[in-house]
């Protein structure tokens, strides 16, 4: 939903989608969802040309994926980082 809102240029809907995603991850106590949220934020930052924010979000995502042993997800984060 966040990516759709970003594509539509709807900043309010984007902020709400990200907030709800973070809230869901926190309520579920899901480090997987938190890391995926960070990866989504990194992709959004790349799309708007904010490499510094993308790098910060990729650090968070990669740390989570590595801790969880989620190699495919980690590879996705690292591939995105390689394109920065």
Structural domain boundaries enclosing 18:
2-82
When divided into structural domains, the chain yields a total of: 1
Position 8 scores a pLDDT of: 97
Position 60 scores a pLDDT of: 98
Position 49 scores a pLDDT of: 96
For the chain (84 residues), the mean pLDDT of every run of 10, in chain order, is: 95 97 98 98 97 98 98 98 94
Helix (H/G/I), strand (E/B), else coil: 83: coil
Among candidates 75, 74, 43, which has minimal Cα distance to 61? 74
Position 83 scores a pLDDT of: 93
pTM: predicted TM-score of the whole model, two decimal places: 0.94
State the Cα angle at 68 between 66 and 73, rounded to 5°.
Answer: 60
């Amino acid at each position: 939903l966040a990516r759709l809102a970003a594509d539509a240029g709807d900043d309010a809907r984007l902020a709400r989608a990200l907030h709800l995603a973070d809230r869901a991850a926190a309520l579920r106590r899901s480090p997987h969802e938190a890391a995926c949220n960070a990866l989504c934020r990194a992709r959004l930052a790349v799309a708007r040309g904010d490499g510094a924010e993308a790098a910060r979000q990729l650090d968070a995502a990669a740390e989570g994926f590595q801790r969880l042993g989620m190699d495919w997800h980690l590879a996705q984060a690292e591939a995105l980082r390689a394109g920065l």
